[in-house]
Amino acid sequence: MKGHVIRKVLEGSIAQEMEMEEGDTLLRINGEEIGDIFDYQYLVQDEYIEVLLKKADGEEWLLEIDKDYEEDLGIEFENGLMDDYRSCHNQCIFCFIDQMPKGMRKTLYFKDDDSRLSFLQGNYVTLTNMSDHDLERIVKYRLSPINISFQTTNPQLRCKMLNNRFAGEALKKVDRLYGAGIAMNGQIVLCKGVNDKGELERSISDLAGYLPHLESVSVVPVGLSKYRDGLYPLEPFTQEDAVEVLDTIHRWQERLYAEYGTHFVHASDEWYLLAGRSLPEAGRYDGYLQLENGVGMLRLLMDEFEEALEEIGKKGGKDGKRENRQEKTVSIATGRLAYPSIVDMAGRLESACGGIRILVYPVTNDFFGERITVSGLLTGQDIAAQLAGRELGERLLLPQNVLRSGERVFLDDMTVEELENTLQVKVDIVKSSGRDFVDAILYGNL
């Protein structure tokens, strides 16, 4: 009988009360086997459940548990999915993993296309790896939202872009999700001369037909590294291209907002910076449903910064300057995309707070290529090389997204401590909000 080994029992939980222990194996709930985390979360919801457990010595316990509805048992498993991760079998012409150099850690080359990660971590899936059984469970368990990589609604073009002859057929799964009322979000990775212009118009028009269950669609430019030998020939977008993309998106936003009260389709921040246009106001982002795709990140950061700066002004007296602040210098390293915005915020913070000097350095992505301008793909070695010999002050501030999630390691496996030793400066990692930005500069990581 398949089971799932318990890795951790939380303090004060039902599991602890029922004498579950690390190393025990969960076999069944209510007589049903548990395939993965979604089966577990569904079966554990009821107020009364029966749990079949196998202890480390081989003895089986049948536990009868009364609890609140949807109250968790308080256990964690060795594998977060409680099943193997499913890899992607597509060969997308825009895939960034195919554009990475050799010799990096193996986990960076794993392509996931697992619908379960869409719900758990917000990953985007192509639907080509989703079985009928997966669809049935999503509908049965009312799982939502699911994040879908559309790229295009043209079936033939989608087959070409994903290099999968079933990629166009997979779009029919959206009809089933829509019919079941499952909330969705969409993504279009735009490739010049492939799925832009008329194809983009077609995709937005088709996807708007899934409103209101398809809640938002982001349009992001393809990321092109310098490691594209032998791959599909893609070109970077120009300023003129970006203006055309924004004009298309804004035209649809106006139309759909008038009809549905939502802007629905959103351009990532890169398009505005490339086009030389101002970012939209906060209300245009419909609650920031696409932040992880870089849609509205800078707007939210700047608005949060404004709020923090206003509070400093209220506390600091008539001119907004705080008294008795110790003189200090701090430095910030960021990607070239956000650099102008960070420089502006740093300058305004200097003016509002006496005694502080903020140095901002843009880091060119030599590792992946200068076309990659986001901070999230910066490596420790590029930061170290380009800041060597620079004035860095008492502390160097880096955005949290330069590190691997939950670790103090850069994409190239350099650690924060190694960077500190190389540059001989204390490195502070700054969380994503505008308030965190201000607090990190003024007070450091407390």
Q: What is the pLDDT along the chain (446 residues), one digit of tens a residue?
A: 678 999 999 999 999 999 999 999 999 999 998 888 888 888 898 899 999 999 989 999 999 999 998 898 999 987 776 666 666 778 899 998 889 888 777 766 666 665 565 555 567 888 998 888 888 888 988 888 989 999 999 999 999 999 999 999 999 999 999 999 999 999 999 999 999 999 999 999 999 999 999 999 999 999 999 999 999 999 999 999 999 999 999 999 999 999 999 999 999 999 999 999 999 999 999 999 999 899 999 999 999 999 999 888 776 543 444 443 457 899 999 999 999 999 999 999 998 887 899 999 999 999 999 999 999 999 999 999 999 999 999 999 999 999 977 789 999 999 999 999 999 999 999 987 899 999 999 887 54
- Between CA 304 and CA 282 the distance in angstroms is 11
Strand pairing class (146-149; 184-190) = parallel
What domains are there in the chain, each with its CATH number? 4-77 (2.30.42.10), 97-293 (3.80.30.10), 300-443 (3.40.50)
- Give the whole-angstrom CA distance, residue 114 versus residue 124: 9
Residue corresponding to tokens 């791959």: 231
Could you tell me which of 277, 288, 279 has the C-alpha nearest to residue 242?
277
Q: Which residue has the tokens 């599991």?
A: 15
The residue among 196, 170, 164, 184 whose CA lies nearest residue 95 is: 164
Task: List the structure tokens of 301.
Answer: 């950061």
Q: How far apart are the C-alpha atoms of 122 and 139, rounded to whole Å?
A: 18
Q: Which token pair is 179?
A: 């019919």
Q: Are strands 214-221 and 265-267 parallel, antiparallel or unpaired?
A: parallel
Backbone angles phi, psi at 323, to 5 degrees: -85, 155
- The Cβ of residue 180 has, within 10 Å, a number of other Cβ atoms equal to 15
Question: CA 149, 154, 158 angle in degrees (round to 5)?
Answer: 50
- Here the tokens at position 17 are 């009360």
What length does the chain have? 446
| Radius of gyration of the chain, Cα coordinates, nearest whole angstrom | 25
Beta partners for residue 267, in sequence order: 219
Tell me the backbone φ, ψ of residue 220, rounded to 5 degrees: -125, 145
Q: Looking at residue 322, what is its pLDDT?
A: 43
pLDDT at residue 446 in the model: 46
pLDDT at 302: 94
pLDDT at 137: 85
Task: Give the DSSP letter of residue 326.
Answer: P
CA distances in angstroms from 268 to 295, 299, 375, 376, 441, listed in the order given: 4, 11, 15, 15, 27
Amino acid letter for position 53: L
pLDDT at 410: 94
395-399 and 328-335 as β-strands: parallel, antiparallel, unpaired?
parallel
Amino acid in position 163: N
